Structure 1
Amino acid sequence: MSAVLLLVDIQNDYFPGGAMELNFSEEAGKRASQLLQAFRERALPVVHVRHVSNRPGATFFLPGTKGAEIHELVRPLQGEQVFVKHFPNSFRETPLNGYLRGLAPERLIIAGMMTHVCIDTTVRAAADLGFTCTLAGDACATRDLSFDGKPIPAEMVQAAFLAALNGTYAQLKTSEEICTSLLSVDQ
């Protein structure tokens, strides 16, 4: 198996009007949708992961809410695998590792939401488990943070986390570069 697409937490609560809106979620979602289309056109496997919060005091991804549903840009088709997680790491207490082992991909292509939490932990876990990872950095989104009373714009959060993952845990590429490389495999 050449590649598997892993879409992490591309859910309504992260989009405009959601309970935890991220910066540039629509743009990242559209790029993830392009990746998804490229994988579907080549009949390559796609795995969707969605977070459902079960911790007390949670304010988003609440069970049974529209916000916890996968966004329409990347809505799963019948037959595409969907895993539900309750922690940032998509592998923690889910059957994802075993499922991917069964597919034996040469590469795991990852895209999704909350770069500084769920994408970071999932990419690091995947690499630690021995998967060769490519991260579609432009198909990920995050939000503004603050530290020690200082604001940190989403663009800086995104750049810092992508830089930390690139090279050690994943190869960073744009969604267009990934789609182009899929096309070259077809020829």
Structure 2
Amino acid sequence: MKNERALIVIDVQNDYDGGNLPIAHPPIAGSLANIGRAMDAAKKRGVPVVAVQNINAPDAPIFAEGTPGAELHPVVASRGWDHYFRKNMPSTFSAPGFEAWLRENGITTITIVGYMSHNCDLSTAIEAVHRGFKVEFLSDATGSLPYANRAGRASGEEIHRVVSVVLQSRFAAVMTTEEWIEVLETGREPERDSIYASSRRGRGIE
């Protein structure tokens, strides 16, 4: 029986691991290990693994074409993948042929791991929902970094936590890698939520 789920490994590239855009939270050693665990579990259970790589112009400060920072991290490169897509915009749906591949292969649910929680992961998840796909987000196999700009300042932990809460409220089933592996093994449907219920809990009503 064809698997209706695909593991989307987004932009797991060297610039995030001690390069020009270092992931801060969760600590990258842990998220990389969980990305590897998710890939291994997917391959064991026949879930196709899709590697996505962001490549920018040769003079870009991050992911510059032809530089070590743009290369896929060894955690991904050493394991290989079933399909590969290249992009230079946040959402994976900007990669030529990505949506067509999902539909041609009967994929109805995408599981997101990789970087960054608040950028490429978030935009991919939102666009997936708009296009009719279900989304799963493995919060310990993703990560964020701190920002400071004219709008304010936020730590990597704050960004990652808030994005996870927002995703669970409407766009994705947020879970750990261990919980996802259990979903694969049992076939149970992961817990999803709603804006209404999340808001009520946030206000202390439930």
What's 2:140 paired with?
Answer: 138
Structure 1 match to 2:179: 177
Matched to 2:33, the amino acid is: K
Relative to structure 1, the CA distance from residue 173 to residue 78 in structure 2 (aligned partners, 3 Å threshold; closer, same or farther) is closer
CA separation of 1:149 and 1:167: change in aligned 2, threshold 3 A: closer
Q: 1:78 to 1:27 in 2, by over 3 A?
A: closer
Question: Among 122, 136, 149, which residue is 1:120 paired with?
Answer: 122
Using the TM superposition, give the Cα deviation of residue 114 of structure 1 relative to its aligned residue in structure 2, in angstroms: 1.2
Partners of 1:111 and 1:69 in 2: CA distance:
17
Distance 1:169 1:153 in 2: 23
Q: 1:153 to 1:61 in 2, by over 3 A?
A: same
* 3-state SS of 1:61 partner: coil
Q: Which residue of 1 aligns with 2:45?
A: 42
Instruction: Percent identity, please.
Output: 26
Of 150, 158, 161, 2:160 maps to 158
Q: State the TM-score, normalized to the length of structure 2.
A: 0.83
Q: Flag as ranges the 4+ runs of structure 1 deviating above 3 A.
A: 76-79, 147-151
| Structure 2: stretches of 5+ with no match in the other structure | 188-206
The 1:83–1:93 alpha-carbon spacing in structure 2 relative to 1, beyond 3 Å, is closer
Contact 2:49–2:81, Cα closer than 8 Å, also in 1 = no
Equivalence for 1:81: 83
What amino acid does structure 2 have at the position aligned with 1:20? L
Aligned to 2:104: 102
Which one-letter code corresponds to 2:173 in the other structure?
A: Q
Larger radius of gyration: 2
CA 1:166–1:80: 2 relative to 1, 3 Å: same
Q: Distance in 1 between matches of 2:81 and 2:173?
A: 28
Gaps of 5+ in 1: none
Aligned to 2:71: 69
CA distance in 2, matches of 1:168, 1:155: 21
Residues 1:149 and 1:46: Cα distance change in structure 2 (over 3 Å): closer
Aligned mates of 2:161, 2:80 — CA distance in 1: 35
Conservation of the 8 A alpha-carbon contact between 2:23 and 2:143: yes
Letter in 2 for 1:85: K
Report the counterpart of residue 13 of structure 1 in structure 2. 15
Residue by residue over 1:19-74, the C-alpha shift from the partner in whole angstroms, topping out at 9 and shown as x without a partner, is 211112221111111000001112221111110013x8620100011111111112
Give the SS at the match of 1:134.
strand
The alignment's C-alpha RMSD in Å is: 1.9
